[in-house]
Structure 1
């Protein structure tokens, strides 16, 4: 029976329990917790070094007031990378291909940055809606355009992550299907297609990490405008 290529993005369930819940909770058990010893093992040491390097790089463009978000942003980065990478394994489900999940992450975090700006520096936050030196006739138009662009930010965050991961998964499934179809008829072409599939899989691994970084980096830039 033929099935749709988009069936891989449907949230699976087992005995009526949606497995997306388990997939979202899985990253929390994949990383070891730091021990109470003075010297940890190699895995925890490498993990701590990576988190410190990423956090210090992420906090560079932020003012001191935005450093309170370091733990939240680092945790979000690890969470997204883990879910994106695990979704590339066979017989798994990628929760970040669901627009509802990505919007559930993007909207509250974006709204928090806006609320912080309106509370701490309302003049500067509202000043972003009207560039300095704007002609009087263009003031209403620019305010409307900047307001629309402000409210489009969370949509762009969620759609970007969803679209990139969905497109990559679809392309991998299409090429893998072509390999299985061509193998009995044209083995040489099938082998070449399989090599392309391997390169595409490596590219998708890079995309999974880059898109998580871009998501968190854009949140950092939105926060920088409001602290």
Structure 2
């Protein structure tokens, strides 16, 4: 272990976050922050960590946000993947966005539902053809013998769909995370960060509270 790792430190100085700055609706507040991130031109602002739990064991990976509406956050994947199996067994998940250029983080917790077939088909239709083929090629999370195995499967599906549209595989589609907890984190000096949380009360209304950093 390189002991210099412990010395890596950055004091956050850019902005603060006050209750009066927030929209009463956390999804609208997320849109405001997200638009700032997009307008800045940073790479892949829609990258988010998805955490699931299966058999009491957590698992996390980076996926890409592909839609945001008034109900939640959507992404697309193989339903038979490890994350798909975890979601089928436990629909409670967490998402994390971190935008270091803005010294901001958003943490989201909630329940997952599948998007409609029409939503999944609509998004699949606008994916690059290579990604469409890849959805057929990859038995996501399964052990394979080598890279050549993937290449040969790719050639086979390219031949199969040559000259026509690539249909959406039945095992591929979207998930929507419907939040009941959203935390907006703004880095501040001396690790005294601003943490403002939206959570739902017994009547299903959003309330805003400040957490100690």
Q: For the superposition of Structure 1 and Structure 2, which TM-score range results when normalised by the shorter chain? A: under 0.3
* Greater strand proportion: 2
Larger radius of gyration: 1
Greater helix share, structure number: 1
